Amino acid sequence: MNEKEKKDANGTLARNGKKHEVTILIAEDDDGHVELITSALRDAGVLNEVIRFRDGVETLAFFYGNKEETFVRKGHPYLLLLDIRMPKMGGIQVLERLKEDPRFKKMPVVMLTTTEEPREIERCHALGCNVYITKPIVFTDFVEKLRRLGLFITIVTVPSL
User: Which residues in this chain contact other proteins in the complex, by CB under 8 A?
Assistant: 29-33, 35-36, 39, 54, 85, 87-89, 113-115, 135-140, 142-143
CA distance 144 to 149: 8
Contact 81, 37 (CB under 8 A): yes
Q: Judged by CB, which is closer to other proteins: 48, or 113?
A: 113
> In the complex with other proteins, which residue's Cβ is closer, 88 or 103?
88
The span from the CA of 71 to the CA of 54, in Å, is 16
| Closer Cβ to other proteins, 22 or 34, answer by number | 34
Q: How far is the CB of 134 from other proteins (least distance, A)?
A: 10
Select from 119, 129, 145, 62 the least CA-distant residue to 91: 129
Pairing of strands 131-134, 109-113: parallel
- Give the number of other CB atoms < 10 A from CB of residue 76: 13
For residues 58, 30, 94 and 57, what is the CA-based torsion angle, rounded to 10 degrees?
-20
- Closest approach of other proteins to the CB of residue 86, in Å: 9
- Output 128 or 136, the one with its CB closest to other proteins: 136
* Smallest gap from residue 31 Cβ to other proteins (A): 7
> Cβ of residue 52: shortest distance to other proteins, in angstroms?
12
Residues forming beta bridges with residue 134, ordered by sequence position = 113
Which CB, 21 or 120, lies closer to other proteins?
120
CB of 1 to other proteins, least distance (A): 12
